[in-house]
Copies of this chain bind each other. A is one copy, B any other.
Amino acid sequence: MTRVLIVDDEPQILRALRINLTARQYEVLVAADGTAALQVAAHDRPDLVVLDLGLPDLDGVEVIRKLRTWTPVPIIVLSGRVGSSDKVDALDAGADDYVTKPFNVDELLARIRAVTRRQGGAEPTAPVRIGRFTIDLAARTAVADSGESVHLTKTEWHLLDILVRNPGALVTQRYLLQQVWGPTYLHETHYLRQYLAQLRRKLEYDPARPRHLLTEPGMGYRYAP
Q: Which residues of A contact B (CB under 8 A)?
A: 70-72, 84, 97, 100, 102-104, 106-107, 110-111, 114, 119-125, 138-141, 151, 153-154, 157, 166, 168-170, 179, 216-219, 222
Contact = CB atoms under 8 A, between A and B. Distances in A.
Count of chain copies: 2
Contacts of A124: 97, 111, 114
Given A140-B216, A179-B84, A72 B104 contact: yes
Nearest to A162: B84
Nearest to A125: B114
Nearest to A126: B114
Given A153-B217, A170-B139, A170-B140, A110 B106 contact: no
A43 to B, nearest CB: 17
7 contacts: A71-B102, A72-B100, A72-B102, A114-B125, A140-B170, A154-B217, A154-B219
Nearest to A103: B72
A218 B106 contact: no
A218 B154 CA distance: 6
A106 B120 contact: yes
A112 to B, nearest CB: 11
Contacts of A102: 70-72
Nearest to A139: B169
Contact of A218 (B153, B169, B219): B153
Given A72-B104, A169-B138, A169-B139, A114 B123 contact: yes
A218 B157 CA distance: 11
A157 B169 CA distance: 14
Nearest to A96: B124
B153 A169 contact: no
B125 A121 contact: no
A217 to B, nearest CB: 7
Given A114-B125, A153-B217, 13 more contacts: A70-B102, A71-B102, A72-B100, A72-B104, A104-B119, A110-B121, A138-B169, A139-B168, A139-B170, A140-B169, A141-B169, A151-B216, A154-B219
A129 to B, nearest CB: 17
